[in-house]
Chain A
Amino acid sequence: MSTVLDVKGLNCPLPILRTKKAIKDIAVGSVLEVIATDPGSVKDMEAFCKQTGNVLLETKDAGGTYTFKIERKA
């Protein structure tokens, strides 16, 4: 089961800020699903995960709506 965070319509850096908040609320090893429309979030989510040590399991692009699956590591 994964927690879903909807950041559709929000622009940089809000998707990242909201993701950070949401990931703190889930248990280590759990997965957060983030749904965004900001095209910049594709690269940014990757960079965010790389820097924070969380794992970006999956990025899906459904015609302008992006779904990220992030596993909390630390």
Chain B
Amino acid sequence: MAETGKSMSIIVTKGTLDWAYPPLILASTAVAMDLNVTLFFTFYGLTLLKKKLDLKVTTLGNEAMEMPMMGMHMAMPNLLAAMPGAPGLTTMMMKDLIKKKGVASIEELRDACQEAGVRMIACQMTMDLFEYQPSDLIDGIEYAGAATYIETATQCDINLFI
């Protein structure tokens, strides 16, 4: 790796099914393109490091979200999106689309990142704040804080916050 001498870091702050994609797609692609990649998982992003992923998506508060349906695009009003069962239904539909369109699962992308040597750092403060144990999370990750991220970021060509 690092044959290009280029590097990228991403601060991963979100843990829903839809928001899990951008950082993991970029990280797995960048490492495939010989970049050194560091992911810093903080706050809800920490969810993406759990051993067993159970990611959800909701249209609640996401007015721009439309799903293709019967040749049209359907949005769900917030009032409906807040109903019991609505997030579960939306998640099911999204997962169905993901499969149909040949899009990778989050597990697959995370595995690809780990296999290729993406450095993953779990925010220690968030671990304490939300009472997570290292045993809740996958192996092969580091535990550190803001200073570690900053030190890494000063040496990266690309630094993103997602």
Contacts and interface: CB of A to CB of B under 8 A. Distances in A.
A42 to B, nearest CB: 16
A48 B34 CA distance: 9
A11 B3 CA distance: 26
A53 B4 CA distance: 9
Interface in B77-112: 101-104, 108-109, 112
Given A13-B25, A13-B28, A51 B34 contact: yes
Contacts, number: 46
Given A51-B4, A53-B3, A74-B3, A11 B101 contact: yes
Interface string A9-22: 11111101101100
Most chain A Cβ neighbours within 10 Å, of B3, B4, B33, B34: B33
Interface in A20-54: 20, 38, 47-48, 51-53
A17 B103 CA distance: 12
Contact of B29 (A9, A10, A17): A17
B32 interface: yes
Contacts of A13: 25, 28-29, 32, 104, 109
Contacts of A47: 33
A14 B102 CA distance: 9
29 contacts: A10-B104, A11-B101, A11-B102, A11-B103, A12-B103, A13-B25, A13-B104, A13-B109, A14-B103, A14-B108, A16-B32, A16-B33, A17-B28, A17-B29, A17-B112, A20-B32, A47-B33, A48-B32, A48-B33, A51-B4, A51-B6, A51-B34, A52-B3, A52-B4, A52-B33, A52-B34, A53-B3, A53-B4, A74-B3
Interface of A: 9-14, 16-17, 19-20, 38, 47-48, 51-53, 74
Given A14-B108, A53-B3, 19 more contacts: A10-B104, A11-B103, A11-B104, A13-B25, A13-B28, A13-B104, A14-B103, A14-B104, A16-B29, A16-B33, A17-B32, A20-B116, A47-B33, A48-B33, A51-B4, A51-B6, A51-B34, A52-B34, A74-B3
